[in-house]
Amino acid sequence: MSETVTDADFLLTHRGKAEDLDAWVVGAAFSRDGKSAGFALGDGTLRLASTGDITGDWQRVEAHEGACLSMVADIASGFLTGGDDGRMVRTAHDGTVEELANLGAMKWVDCVASHPDGLRAASVGKKLHVFGKGGPLKVLEHPSSVGGIAFDAKGKRVAAAHYNGASLWFVNSKEDKPRVLPWKGSHQGVWFSPDGTHVVTTMQENALHGWRLADGQDMRMSGYQSKIKSVSFTAKGRWLATAGADCIVLWPFFAGGPMGKPPMELAGGDGVLCTRVACHPQHEVVAAGFDDGLVLMAEIASGKVVPVAAPGRGPVSALAWNATGTQLAFGTETGFGGLVDLSKR
């Protein structure tokens, strides 16, 4: 049917489900056990969908008093959220809410992170709280507020982005002394490359910064039209996909790159800002969300683009793949949530 080619909503209408969630979608994630997809919203609630049947009802869960500020998949199952009520909360597949930590009145839990080895982290102002299987493990102080946090793939190190650089901490070291990666300016998000050899941050300026950990070599990646709020490494770490331009910008992390290598651009041309990116967990395919609400997938090798959801539902503010890469969840600033199943039938 020729109609399917032009209908940008084909996948969403035929292979997915969409709902008006009535609040800013702060985050989207799939649980590590693959059972559920979750959306975290600006009204403090979550929506949980069962991945077995995404067309079923999505459960509404009250998780935070004010707004959810960040969301990730929790350790083994369920979701972990931080809120502007100062709490770090775990929400199970069945909608059971458990407060894991209350980190202070009038304080915000800006960022949360988790690792399958039983680790959780939450940032509140300058402090990074790290939790192990047995509860609170340590509190790591930074010179200024923490903008973003990340565990490396092995769960050995945790990184925090802040003013004038990023700090890397060994989770299990007895002496808490960070390796500081310095670079002038305010760093707001942080990511490890999948092999743990590079750290990348997004900045207050329209640029990314990176460090090669072996020798501390700096990488400057600039030329964006706006702040970069989303980056994602491809599964094997060959490419770093980034939002912040009117296309998907991909930096090569192979053959000596990204230093001295131009980035590749995908799915550009209509002058609309890319706001979210998420790389497929197995293939070199990037899902991207745009300022006009368009969601698409692009294959890196061929540049081929497949639309997932049509424009017109607000800037895309959340985007995530499940672990097998068969389902994609997305949400927008104006409260539209979508879930698409791409598996073979």
Partner 1 sequence: MSDTAPTEDTTIPVTVLTGYLGAGKTTLLNRILSEDHGKKYAVVINEFGELGVDNDLVIDADEEVFEMNNGCICCTVRGDLVRILGSLMKRRQKLDGIIVETTGLADPAPVAQTFYMDEDVKRATRLDAIVTLVDAKNLAARLADSKEAASQIAFADIVVLNKMDLVTEEEAAEVERRIAAINPYAEIRRATKSAVPIETVMGRDAFKLERILEREPTFLTEDNHSHNEDVMSLSFEVDQPLDEAKFQNWIGELLQTKGQDLLRTKGVLAYAGEDRRFAFQAVHMIADGDFIGPWPEGSPRKSKIVFIGRDLNRPRLRRGFESCVATEASTATGAGAE
**Binding stretches for partner 1 (CB under 8 A):** 22-24, 26, 41-43, 66-67, 69, 84, 106-108, 110, 125-126, 144-145, 147, 163, 184-186, 204-205, 226-227, 333
**Minimum Å distance from CB 178 to partner 1?**
19
**Minimum Å distance from CB 45 to partner 1?**
9
What span, in angstroms and rounded, lies between the C-alpha atoms of 153 and 133?
18
**Minimum Å distance from CB 30 to partner 1?**
21
CB of 184 closer than 8 Å to CB of 207: no
If the CB atoms of residues 300 and 318 are measured against partner 1, the closer one turns out to be 318
What span, in angstroms and rounded, lies between the C-alpha atoms of 68 and 25?
9
If the CB atoms of residues 108 and 151 are measured against partner 1, the closer one turns out to be 108
**Minimum Å distance from CB 184 to partner 1?**
5
**How many residues can be counted in the chain?**
345
Peptide bond into 258 cis (omega under 30): yes
If the CB atoms of residues 34 and 125 are measured against partner 1, the closer one turns out to be 125
If the CB atoms of residues 44 and 258 are measured against partner 1, the closer one turns out to be 44
Q: Tell me, what DSSP letter sits at residue 53?
A: G
**Minimum Å distance from CB 179 to partner 1?**
22
If the CB atoms of residues 282 and 334 are measured against partner 1, the closer one turns out to be 334
Could you give the 3-state DSSP secondary structure of residue 223?
coil
What span, in angstroms and rounded, lies between the C-alpha atoms of 263 and 213?
21
**Minimum Å distance from CB 139 to partner 1?**
16
Please report which helix (H) or strand (E) contains residue 4, including its range. helix 3-6
DSSP state letters, 248-311: EEEEE-STT-STT-PPEEES--S-PPEEEEEE-SSSSEEEEEETTS-EEEEETTT--EEEEE-S
**Minimum Å distance from CB 335 to partner 1?**
8
If the CB atoms of residues 69 and 340 are measured against partner 1, the closer one turns out to be 69
Is 66 buried (19+), middle (13-18) or exposed (0-12) by CB count in 10 A?
middle
If the CB atoms of residues 110 and 341 are measured against partner 1, the closer one turns out to be 110
**Minimum Å distance from CB 41 to partner 1?**
7
* Ramachandran angles phi, psi of 13, nearest 5°: -80, -35
What span, in angstroms and rounded, lies between the C-alpha atoms of 170 and 155?
9
What span, in angstroms and rounded, lies between the C-alpha atoms of 159 and 297?
29
If the CB atoms of residues 20 and 117 are measured against partner 1, the closer one turns out to be 20
Write the Ramachandran bin of 238: left for phi over 0, alpha for psi from -120 to 50, otherwise beta.
Answer: alpha
